Structure 1
Amino acid sequence: MGGLLTTAGWRWVFFVPVVIAAVILAAALALVPKTPRPAPAGERFDLAGGLAVTAGIVLIVLGIERGAHASAAATVATVGAGVLLLGVFAAIERRTPAPLVRLGILRNPALLRANAAGLLFAGGFFGFQFIAVLYMQELRGWSTVETSLAMLVVGVDAVLSPTLTPKLVERFGNARVAVGGLVLAALAYAWFLPLGAEWSYVAMLPGLTLLGLAFALTYGPLTIAATDGVDEAEQGLAGGLLYTSMQFGAALGMSAVTLVNAAATEGSSASSMLGGYRAALVVPLVAVAVAVAVSASGWRARSGRVVDEADASADRPVDAVAR
C-alpha cells in the first residue's frame, strides 16, 4: 500500500493514516462501552511533564539526525538540551500529585529490560528498512511499487504473530522466544553487510525473511515482558512506556543510520553510495546485538540459575502475544 500511495503522491503516505485514525475514533466513540473515570475528581493531566518529555525526545532525535550537517557544538548543544529536558521531566514527575509516569514503576527490572530491548530492536528494524529502501530505489532504480513488493515478505509477522508465536511462548517461555527473535534479527542484518551493487532479489530474500520471522517472535513477547508483574492499575502505563520506547527507538535508529550513511558516502558514484549503505547497516546490527545481551540477562536469577522470568506469568493467556 505504501508503494502504491507513493506512486500517487508521497504525501498520501501521511494523509491516509489520519483518515483511518479518524474512522477508528468515530467507531470507538459509537461502539466502545463507556466506563466510569478511574481518576479521582479534580485530578489534572500532567501537561508540564508531557511537554517536557516530548520536547526532550524530539531534541535528542533532531540532534542526532542533524549531526552530519551541523557543527559538533550545535549537535552537542541540541542533544544536551534534550537530555536536560528529560531531567526536568523526571523532576516534575517527582513533585506532581498526578504524574504522567510514576517513577517507581521503573524499579521493575523486567520492565526496564523490555523497554531497552524494544528501543534497540525498533531502532535497528526501522533503520534497516530505511537503508534497504534507499539501496533499492537510489542505487538499483527500482520503483516504489517494486520496492514495496520486495519488502512485502517482512510482513510475514502478520500471519505468524497470532498463530506460531503463542505456541512457541507456551512451549519455551516468553523471554527465550524474544531473544530468539532478536538473534534472527541479528542474522538478518549480518546477511546484508556484504551488500553488492547488483544483488538480485533472490540474494536479499533470506535476510528479509529472517527479519519478518524476527519481528513475529520479538514484538509480542516484549509486550508481555513489559507488563508482567505490573499492578493491573498500571498495565496501561507499562504498555505506554514500551510503545513510547519503541517509537523513540525507531526515530533514533533512522537518525543514526542517516548520520552514518551521510558520513560514509564520499560522492555520488555507485561505489560511494554502496559504501555508505554498508557502513549504515552496521548500526542495526550493533543495536540488536545489544538488545540480545540486555534480554538474555533476564534469564539469570539472583541465585545464578538460568531461568525465564516470564515463567511466573505462565498462567496468563498466551494469546496476548497477538497484540
Structure 2
Amino acid sequence: MTAPTPEQLRAVPKVLLHDHLDGGLRPATVLELARETGYEGLPESEVGALAAWFERASTSGSLERYLETFVHTVGVMQTVPAIRRVARECAEDLADDGVVYAEVRFAPELHVERGLALPAVVEAVLEGFAEGSAAAAARGREIRMAALLTAMRHAARSSEIAELAVRYRDAGVVGFDIAGAEAGFPPTRHLDAFEYLRRENAHFTIHAGEAFGLPSIWEALQWCGADRLGHGVRIVDDITVAADGTPRLGRLAAYVRDMRVPLEMCPSSNLQTGAVTSIEEHPLGLLRELGFRVTVNTDNRLMSRTSLSREMGLLVDAFGYGWADLRWLTVNAMKSAFIPFDERLAVIEQRIKPAYAALGA
C-alpha cells in the first residue's frame, strides 16, 4: 500500500471539529495587528522568530503554560476589524488545507478588554467566516464554517455565553463549549449553563480528559450531558490491555464507546501539553482499533505549527494509516458535527465518499 502523500492529504476533503480561533492566527497577522491596535507585549518582532516562539512556549508539557501563549493572540483581537480579519483568514487557511466543514470555537468574553460588547464579538467572527468562505469559494475551495461559543471554566460567565449561543444559533453558531485549565475547575461548576442548553435543544461539547483524568470525563457526560468530548484522551485510563493483547474496558470507557460519544482528539497539541509522550503512543491508535468514535483535529494551528493535513500525516507515519482509515476518521467527524442530520449526510455522500473512493478507500 502506498502511503498518502502530503499533497494528497491537503487535497482530500477533511472535517474539523476542534479548532480555536485565537490559536490559529498567522504569525504575520499577529505582528500586523499588534502594530495596528497598539499591543506592545509580543516576545518577538519578526515573523519566523514569532512563529518559533509560539511553538516553543507551547511545548512545555503543561496545559497551564500552554494556555499562557494566548495572552498575545487575544491581546491583538480586541477590535471588530481585527477579529473579523482573523476569522476571515481562518476560513481561507482551512479551505486551502482541504477542509470542507469546520467548527471553530472562540470565547467572546476574552475579546471585551477594549469595550466591545459580547454580541459585537460574535457578529465580527461570523462576518469574517462569511467573507473568508466566499473568498475561498472564488478560488474553487468550498468550505462551510460554523462557530462554537466557548466559556472559560475558571470564570463565571458561562450562562451568559450559553444564552448567546442560543441567540445566534440560526446565524452560524452551532454549539457551546467550556475551555481552560481543567484541574480545580470541574465542568459541574457550569451546570446551570448546560441545563439551560439542554432545555433549549442546543448542542455542546466540553473540554475534558485532556490534562485531568476520568473524573473530568465522567462529570462532563453524566452530570453535564455533553454531546462530545474535547480531547478525551484520558479515557484510555479506563482501558486495560492484558499480556496477550486482550483489551478490557471499564464502565466509563464502555459507556463512551457504546453511546458513540465523539472524541475530538488533537495529537500534536496533546504531545505539547504532556497528555501523551509521543504520537506513536497516542491513545487514538488503540481507540480506533476498539471502535470508539474518534476524530482528528488541530486544536491550535499557530501553537502547534500544524494543519489538519499535517495531523493526518502524523497518523499515517505513526500507525501506518491508509485512505480507508482516514476516511473513517473523516466520516466520524462529519457524523458528529452540530448541524442537521440531512446536511451532514449530504457532505458525507456528495463530498467525502466520492473523493476517498477515487483514492481506493
TM-score interval, normalised by the smaller of the two chains: under 0.3
Structure with the higher fraction of residues in strand conformation:
2
Larger radius of gyration: 1
TM-score scaled to structure 1, two decimals? 0.28
Q: Which has the higher helix share?
A: 1
Q: Which has the higher contact order (CA 8 A, sep 6+)?
A: 1
